[in-house]
Structure formats: structure tokens, C-alpha cells
Amino acid sequence: MDPLEYIPDEYRKHGVDTEPILYYMREKSDDDELDVLLEAAQNDVRLHQARIRAAASNDISLLAKYDFTRDPLYLSRQERKLGRVEAVELLTKEARTILRELDEDKKNLTPEERTQVKLARWQRALELYVYCPSEMSLDLLGLLEKLLDGTSEEQELSEVLSQASQMCSTLVDATHQSVRDTTDDAAQAEDSYMIRLE
């Protein structure tokens, strides 16, 4: 039976947790050239990913046209990954400046401007703490002390803590997304590896 004409039941039941079911590799023999075997393995990788997507969306036409390198989910994961890599490289490069600016005096600014500058600098230091801990000379408590340093009025303190809380929540969400992306990439790589191992 043509593998592009049906979705095996395992994919409907188990979705992304389905073990790859080989089709193209089974048609090859040990006497085939390595490049022929690798092409068959790549076709099985594509078929496996297509079956997962087709079962999830109940769309059998995806079996023939699916290309994971054009999959919007895959592309958005890769785009986020590239963005994270660039952000970490920039944070690493600017680590000393970030830490120095955290201590700089913010004279000649209105209290509101001073608060906004402090929060912007603190956010960069928080990102440095999370993404590049080896570049950070402060622990979390020290970072919080820097945030509250010079904040005396109760209203200003409340605003600073509220905005810092939002920054932390945003960073937690971004980190959670990063873990999900890495898990999905690892699962896809594992499937690909298992197929090539056959």
C-alpha cells in the first residue's frame, strides 16, 4: 500500500509519541550505496513528521506535501532559537557594561525618568542573570538590592516592584517557551536519529 494514502493507527492514537514506522528504509538492502540509504532515511524522517501532522489535523493530503523545513511550527521554533542565540551573544558581549550601568548615578533626571532608567537597566541585568549566569557577579538577592537601592517613597517602591514582577513573569514565559522548543527539537532529532540508525 502507498504510504501517502493512509495514516497508520499508531499516529492517530499516540501522535508525537509514536515510534517511527519505516517505509522507504525497508525497501532498501544492505548492498545499496550509503547515499541511497541516507536518502531513504531522510524520506522516512519526512514521512514520519508528515504522519504526525496529518494525524493531528486529520488531513491525509499532508502526507504528500508536508515538508518540515516549511512547517510554520518548525520555522517559528527556529526563529525563536535564533533570536535567543543572538540575545545571549549580545548579553555576553555587553555584560560588563550592563553591570557598570546598574551602579551608575542617574542624576539630572526627574524621579519618573530615574525610575524608568533603573528598571530598563535592571531588566538587562536580570536577563544576564538568567541567560548568562557565568557573566553575572551578583546573586539574585544582590540584584534585588540594586533594584531597590535609592527607592524611598512607598508609591515609587510599589511601582518598581510591580514592573519588576511583570519583567520576571515575561522572562519566565520566554524561558518556558525555550524549554518547549528545545523539547520539540530534541524529539524531532531523536526520531531522525532512530530512523538513520535503522
Q: What is the pLDDT of residues 68-110, one digit of tens each?
A: 778 888 889 889 999 999 999 999 999 999 999 988 877 788 8
Q: Does the pLDDT of residue 198 top 60, yes or no?
A: no
Give pLDDT, residue 128.
95
Place of cell 488531513: 59
Q: Which residue has the higher pLDDT, 191 or 33?
A: 33
Q: Answer for the pair 95, 128: CB distance below 8 angstroms, yes or no.
A: yes
For residue 120, the one-letter residue type is A
Lowest-confidence segment of 2-11, 38-47, 134-143, 184-193 by average pLDDT: 184-193
pLDDT band at 1 (very low <50, low <70, confident <90, very high): low
C-alpha cell at 110: 526627574
Half-sphere exposure of 157 (CA within 13 A, CB side): 9
The contacts of residue 162 (CB under 8 Å, 6+ apart) are none
Residues in the chain, overall count: 198
